[in-house]
Amino acid sequence: MCDKEEPCVVESLADGRIKLYSDGSIVREEQQFPPPPTDANYNFVPYKDIVFDHNLGLWARLYLPPDSKTRVPVLLYYHGDGFCYQVTPATDITHHMCQKWAVTLGVIIVYAEYRLAPKHRLLTTYHDPITALQWIDSMKREREEVAR
């Protein structure tokens, strides 16, 4: 049984990463910059983790197409998962998918994370992609200014 002073875990989901407590609170384990999985088939695809908004703690993993010497399109990718479960680019399936897209499509993949519920209210999730797009646009403008 639970102590009346301290709430106890009533239900544990997602291998213990999401916990429902007896007082109704929900706690989700947060993870930033997870280690990438390895796959010999796509080890040649360069990628990098970068924080694009330090104030909000927003970050992305960039996947670059190999041998791109010219300008290439950018594909901004967001995972689904109900805005409350963190599927990071370090999960095998996601990491390999982004690597494969970078190679087969010949584009830069920006896998951007967003703030999740329950810590952040739902509309926050809709603002974070706009922040990522603004960051991508600012990178483009910086390159254009340097080229002048």
Is pTM beyond 0.85 here?
no
pLDDT at 6: 82
Q: Are residues 114 and 41 in the same domain?
A: yes
Q: Are residues 68 and 23 in the same domain?
A: no
pLDDT in tens, 101-148: 898 899 999 998 877 766 767 777 778 888 999 999 998 777 665 444
Residues 60-80, buried b or exposed e (16+ Cβ, 10 A)?
bbbbebeeeeeeeeeeebebe
The domain containing residue 23 runs over which residues? 1-30
Looking at the structure of the chain, the number of domains it has is: 2
- The verdict on whether omega for the bond into residue 118 sits within 30 degrees of 0, i.e. cis, is yes
Give the mean pLDDT of the chain.
76
Task: Between 70 and 37, name the one with better pLDDT.
Answer: 70
CATH code, domain carrying 85: 3.40.50.1820
State mean pLDDT over 75-91. Answer: 66
- Quick check: 16 pLDDT over 70? no
- Quick check: 5 pLDDT over 90? no
Amino acid at 112: A
Q: Are residues 105 and 44 in the same domain?
A: yes
pLDDT at 78: 80
Q: Are residues 52 and 96 in the same domain?
A: yes
